[in-house]
């Protein structure tokens, strides 16, 4: 959250405090459930000033502000209320520092789940139905405009992109042991593998899974076949790279987020299901997975997500 939106509330008059209390009472009594739409709305134009009050505030705060009557007063109130509202949401979202992770079992939220589990961090998992024919909740689209998963909320901060969430969480919780510290010799390779996995393996996997999105032709077979060939090349490269390590993992003997990420993605390959590709063709990737599963917290997440 940007600091310029905060304001010292200690200088509020008694009347102002009473007004805020009354607004918060509306929330607490449940006549309005604050939701992400509200947060989104308030965050869109937090620095609203006189003349730019085109803020679509969709809850009773607006009517209470309206009763105050003056546009310049409203602008000031919006900044106060933004802070109060943010604080209120932070309390609600982050009870005891709880993260909120929007995801789907078996999908790209698995890796962030593993990092949170390994770090011993409690979190709320909000399941999103990502089936093609299911319309996304507009409130979710405000958090993640592509309607994809995962999305993490940490202390009111919204973070999208699975790999970014993993990198962020692993750095924030070094106790997870899943990220070499900045400046350590392994750091470069660690970043290399995370970026390679997300922008090469994952993207090609999506090309294979959602082939029809990558062509205007009625038949996506060409895209699909070419994605298979590219996937094999990428997996061959990963297999050889793992073989060259001193241990089963990308960084040798200690697992880190790229190992989790690789195994999250590996299982998505439809060619495994249709039999044109065998897991046994990639013994080093398989060994990497089995060694990863020796970490009970990570193993539980994979199993809970339906991985064998
Ligand atoms: N680059 C994004 C991709 C996320 C992604 O494609 N998620 C898939 C599930 S694994 C999804 O939400 N699919 C539904 C859709 O694209 O409509 C990330 O890594 O977070």
Say what the pLDDT of residue 110 is.
98
Say what the pLDDT of residue 269 is.
96
Between these two residues, 21 and 265, which has the higher pLDDT value? 265
- Would the pLDDT of 91 be above 70? no
Q: Which of 129, 148, 207, 265 has the most ligand 1 atoms within 8 A of CB, as the residue to mutate?
A: 148
Per-residue pLDDT tens for 235-251? 999 999 999 999 999 99
CATH value of 96-174 in 3.40.1260.10, 3.40.50.261, 3.40.190.10, 3.40.30.10: 3.40.30.10
CATH tag, 180-303: 1.20.1050.10
Say what the pLDDT of residue 138 is.
87
- Would the pLDDT of 24 be above 80? no
Between these two residues, 227 and 74, which has the higher pLDDT value? 227
Say what the pLDDT of residue 66 is.
44
Residues having CB closer than 6 A to ligand 1 are 107-108, 130, 147-150, 161-163, 198, 202, 206
CA-CA distances (angstroms) from residue 29 to 24, 26, 32, 121? 9, 5, 8, 30
If you search the block for the tokens 């997500």, which residue do you land on?
305
Retrieve residue 40's tokens: 């989104």
Cα–Cα dist 228/20, whole Å:
59
Nearest atom of ligand 1 to the alpha carbon of 198: 19
Nearest atom of ligand 1 to the alpha carbon of 132: 17
Q: How confident is the model at residue 73 (pLDDT cuts 50, 70, 90)?
A: very low
What residues does each domain of the chain span? Answer: 8-92, 96-174, 180-303
Per-residue pLDDT tens for 214-223? 999 999 999 9
Q: How confident is the model at residue 33 (pLDDT cuts 50, 70, 90)?
A: very low
Say what the pLDDT of residue 117 is.
96
């Amino acid at each position: 959250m940007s600091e310029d939106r905060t304001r010292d509330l200690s200088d509020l008059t008694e009347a102002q405090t009473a007004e805020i209390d009354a607004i918060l009472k509306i929330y607490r009594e449940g006549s309005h459930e604050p939701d992400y739409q509200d947060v989104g709305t308030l965050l869109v134009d937090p620095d609203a000033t006189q003349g730019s009050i085109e803020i679509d505030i969709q809850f009773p705060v607006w009517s209470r502000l309206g009763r105050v009557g003056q546009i310049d007063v409203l602008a000031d109130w919006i900044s106060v209320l933004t802070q109060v509202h943010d604080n209120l949401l932070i309390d609600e979202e982050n009870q005891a520092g709880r993260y909120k992770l929007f995801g789907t079992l078996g999908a790209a939220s698995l890796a962030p789940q593993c990092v949170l589990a390994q770090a011993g961090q409690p979190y709320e998992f909000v399941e999103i139905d990502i089936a093609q024919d299911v319309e996304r909740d507009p409130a979710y689209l405000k958090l993640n405009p592509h309607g994809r998963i995962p999305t993490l909320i940490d202390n009111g901060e919204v973070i999208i992109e699975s790999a970014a969430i993993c990198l962020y969480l692993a750095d924030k919780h070094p106790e997870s042991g899943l990220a070499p510290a900045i400046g350590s010799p392994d750091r470069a390779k660690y970043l290399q593998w995370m970026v390679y996995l997300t922008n090469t393996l994952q993207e090609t996997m999506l090309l294979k899974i959602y082939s029809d999105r990558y062509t205007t032709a009625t038949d996506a077979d060409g895209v699909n076949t070419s994605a298979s060939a590219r996937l094999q090349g990428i997996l061959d490269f990963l297999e050889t790279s793992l073989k060259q390590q001193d241990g089963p993992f990308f960084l040798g003997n200690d697992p880190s987020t790229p190992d989790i990420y690789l195994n999250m993605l590996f299982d998505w390959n439809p060619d495994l299901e249709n039999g044109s590709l065998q897991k046994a063709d990639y013994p080093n990737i398989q060994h990497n997975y089995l060694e990863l599963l020796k970490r009970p917290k990570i193993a539980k997440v994979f199993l809970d997500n339906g991985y064998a």
